Amino acid sequence: MKNLVILGAGTAGTMMANHLHSELKQPDWHITIVDEKEEHHYQPGYLFLPFDIYTPEDIVKTIEEFIPKDVELIKQKINRIIPAENKIELNGGKELNYDILIVATGAKIAPEETEGMRGGEWQKSVFDFYTFEGSLALRNKLRDWQGGKLVVHITEMPIKCPVAPLEFAFLADSFFKHKHMREKVEITYVTPLSGAFTKPKATEALEHLLHEKGIHIESDFAIEHVDNENKKIVDYGGKEIPFDILVTVPTNKGDELMERSGMGDDLNYVPTHKATLQSKEYGNVFVLGDASNIPASKAGSVAHFEAEILTENILRYVKGEPLKEEFDGHANCFIETGGGKALLIDFNYTHEPVEGTFPFAGIGPLRLLKESRMNHMGKLAFRWIYWNVLLKGTHIPFVSATMSESGKHYN
Amino acid sequence: MEKTIAGKTITVNEEGYLTDFSQWDEKVGEEIAKEASISLTPRHWEVLKYLQNEQKNQVALSIRRIGKSGLVDIKEFYALFPNAPLKTATKIAGIPKPASCI
């Protein structure tokens, strides 16, 4: 019997378990998935929690619920991977041998990378919304905040879901309008990029929206430290931005397991072939989702598209066939813009987000790069799709793993 | 798009970055630096040569990596190339603007 081991039972790992258990069956194959956590979180929900749009119950379920019965789930911390021996060492000394390894250990925030970020004001006036705890602490703060300077900030790229901080700024605008206190809140969006987003056409559209909502943008800001005493952020060039509440996206890093195993780059991401998702160093190791260093967005939609392609590639690898260089960096993201509207963007390694219709050319019903209520309904429906379709590895009708150019207005 | 820099016809993109490194020389670099109100010292040149070398070795450039290069810390990098140092320095060095962001 051969062993396939999946590290991480988040979005990417869970999808792979669901894809593969019906392809690589017992008694020929034994599939194991390892994660130390008890809960599976719907991470896009962290964005809505601070504004009391979702409750904690909406976004937390158990890991077990989504792992197929014929896949062995081990809830234990992983000590290290020993790729030269095809072996995993778990905490407590247990070892797992593998024929094929799938790394899906994700990315997480590392506020300790920035001086003063995790200082005395952490979760008092300095918050993150990339963790459940951070998001909940922020909710409690915003519930009775009387107003002042709200600074929404990105530390450095790459980050998970690069549009989330923008959505946070838009939803904050909407939230305070609703509470009839918008005029008491000054919102500033601070980014290390030269503009609101990483791609030109989307940047244009998003900066227009920021302007329309009275959100000030500070670009090219590379933070050096958080001054807890005087409540301001300071960049390497000496620029200072004062805050009453700082909502920051700290540096994102891959799991420390990669450092312990000597498999990661300087941010603990695993060097991965961007079209096949095979590790650059080890032929029987595959990496998907946020754990890899490929130049695609770190987002659930990307992991979903990757999972479809990786499943085929693993089956090819098992049969000794060459891998297909198929993954194109496809990402599909809703961007909440507040007031019950949202934008949708669909893009890949080579094609930036543009206007158009999705998924049916000329029909929609979703509009690309334009605000609409239908897009917002799409975003809300997505939570149901995530729990009931996406995690189970079911193909989403009409949305292909590689990006379609039809219905998009390229010049 | 073509532009005359230091008496030479140079091909640049819409943001002013050279598209063909073989057209670059130190005079071109000095001229681009002048546009950014920077006069280049030997220290600037050390950093610029380092960036060109990293680019040649296909290393993805980022502020973080330069801070860990051992050549220059981030504070000094900002002092040498104020405001947006990586963008300014790569433009002067004649190499593409880093796509550190997705």
Interchain CB distance below 8 Å, B74 and A224 = yes
Q: Compare CB distances from B75 to A220, A236, A267 and report the shortest one's residue.
A: A236
Domain that holds residue B46: 2-93
Interchain CB distance below 8 Å, A266 and B64 = yes
Q: Are A156 and B63 in contact (CB under 8 A)?
A: yes
pLDDT tens readout for residues A167-216? 999 999 999 999 999 999 999 999 998 889 878 889 999 999 999 999 99
Question: What does each C-alpha distance from A214 to A207, A323, A341, A344, B82 come to in angstroms?
Answer: 11, 50, 17, 22, 28
Interchain CB distance below 8 Å, A237 and B64 = no
Lowest-confidence pick of A44-58, A389-403, B24-38: A389-403
Average pLDDT over every residue of A281-287: 98
Interchain CB distance below 8 Å, A237 and B83 = yes
**Residues of chain A with C-beta less than 8 angstroms from the C-beta of B72:** none
Domain membership of residue B53 (yes or no) is: yes
**Residues of chain B with C-beta less than 8 angstroms from the C-beta of A162:** 101-102
Interchain CB distance below 8 Å, B83 and A220 = yes
- The residue ranking higher by pLDDT, A36 or A362, is A36
* Residue of chain A with shortest Cα separation from B74: A236
At residue A218, the pLDDT reads 96
Domain membership of residue B100 (yes or no) is: no
Domain membership of residue B44 (yes or no) is: yes
ipTM over 0.90: no
Tell me which residues of B are annotated as active site. Answer: 101
> Cα(A246)–Cα(A80) distance, rounded to whole angstroms?
36
| Residue A80: pLDDT over 70 | yes
Shared domain check, A172 and A201: yes
> Cα(A83)–Cα(A72) distance, rounded to whole angstroms?
21
Domain membership of residue B36 (yes or no) is: yes
Domain membership of residue B102 (yes or no) is: no
At residue A341, the pLDDT reads 96
The one-letter code for the residue type at A261 is: S
> Cα(A223)–Cα(A248) distance, rounded to whole angstroms?
11
Residue A126 maps to which CATH number? 3.50.50.60
3-state helix, strand, coil in chain B (%, to 5): 50, 10, 40
Lowest-confidence pick of A36-50, A132-146, A348-362, B57-71: B57-71
Size of interface A-B (CB pairs under 8 A): 42
Average pLDDT over every residue of A24-43: 96
| Residue B101: pLDDT over 80 | no
At residue B59, the pLDDT reads 78
User: Of A115, A154, A157, which to mutate for an interface test with B (greatest number of B Cβ within 10 Å)?
Assistant: A157
**Residues of chain A with C-beta less than 8 angstroms from the C-beta of B99:** 295
Q: A394: Cβ–Cβ under 8 A, 6 or more apart, which residues? A: none
Shared domain check, A201 and A335: no
Shared domain check, A273 and A240: no
Domain membership of residue B42 (yes or no) is: yes
- Total count of domains within chain B: 1
| Residue A236: pLDDT over 80 | yes
Domain that holds residue A362: 331-390
At residue B100, the pLDDT reads 55
Looking at the complex, report in whole angstroms how far the Cα of residue B24 sits from the nearest Cα belonging to chain A.
25
For B16-44, give one letter per residue: b (16+ CB within 10 A) or e. Answer: ebbeeeeebeeebbbbbbeebebebeeeb
Shared domain check, A247 and A166: yes
Looking at the complex, report in whole angstroms how far the Cα of residue B7 sits from the nearest Cα belonging to chain A.
30
Shared domain check, A269 and A348: no
Closest C-alpha among B41, B100, B99, B95 to residue B72: B41
At residue A113, the pLDDT reads 94
| Residue A239: pLDDT over 70 | yes
Average pLDDT over every residue of A125-148: 98
Kindly state the percentage of chain A with pLDDT values over 70.
100
**Residues of chain B with C-beta less than 8 angstroms from the C-beta of A224:** 74-75
Residue A270: which region, alpha, beta or left (left: phi > 0; alpha: psi -120 to 50)? beta
Domain membership of residue B67 (yes or no) is: yes
For residue A365, say if its preceding peptide bond is cis, omega within 30 degrees of 0: yes
| Beta bridge partners of residue A5, listed in sequence order | A32, A101
Q: Compare CB distances from B102 to A192, A266, A297 and report the shortest one's residue.
A: A297
Shared domain check, A218 and A147: yes
pLDDT tens readout for residues A148-177? 999 999 999 999 999 999 999 999 999 999
| Residue B46: pLDDT over 90 | yes
Given A279, A295, A319, the domain boundary residue is: A319
Interchain CB distance below 8 Å, A236 and B78 = yes
Given A229, A251, A273, the domain boundary residue is: A251
- Total count of domains within chain A: 3
* Residue of chain A with shortest Cα separation from B81: A237
Domain membership of residue A167 (yes or no) is: yes
| DSSP codes, A296-354 | S-BSHHHHHHHHHHHHHHHHHHHHTPPPP------EEEEEEEETTEEEEEEE-SS----
Q: Compare CB distances from B84 to A157, A220, A295 and report the shortest one's residue.
A: A220
Interchain CB distance below 8 Å, A222 and B101 = no
Shared domain check, A100 and A163: no
Given A285, A319, A353, the domain boundary residue is: A319
At residue A194, the pLDDT reads 85
pLDDT tens readout for residues A296-328? 999 999 999 999 999 999 999 999 999 999 999
* Sign of the Cα pseudo-torsion (B30, B35, B39, B41, in order): negative
CA Rg, chain B, in Å? 13
Looking at the complex, report in whole angstroms how far the Cα of residue B62 sits from the nearest Cα belonging to chain A.
9
Q: Compare CB distances from B102 to A224, A237, A295 and report the shortest one's residue.
A: A295
Domain membership of residue B20 (yes or no) is: yes
At residue A284, the pLDDT reads 98
For A383-408, give one letter per residue: b (16+ CB within 10 A) or e. Answer: beebbeebbebeebeebebebeeebb
Residue A69 DSSP code: T
> Cα(B17)–Cα(B12) distance, rounded to whole angstroms?
5
Shared domain check, A99 and A32: yes
Residues 66-95 of B with CB under 8 A from A: 68, 74-75, 77-78, 82-85, 87
Shared domain check, A242 and A165: yes
- The residue ranking higher by pLDDT, A11 or A411, is A11
For residue A27, say if its preceding peptide bond is cis, omega within 30 degrees of 0: yes
Interchain CB distance below 8 Å, A266 and B68 = yes
Domain membership of residue A400 (yes or no) is: no
Domain membership of residue A209 (yes or no) is: yes
**Residues of chain B with C-beta less than 8 angstroms from the C-beta of A194:** 84, 87
Shared domain check, A113 and A75: no
Average pLDDT over every residue of A364-380: 93
Shared domain check, A244 and A158: yes
DSSP strands (E only) in A35-141: 39-41, 60-62, 72-74, 78-82, 87-90, 95-97, 100-103, 107-109, 126-127
Shared domain check, A115 and A241: yes
**Angle subtended at Cα A408 by Cα A378 and Cα A331, rounded to the nearest 5 degrees:** 55
At residue B102, the pLDDT reads 43
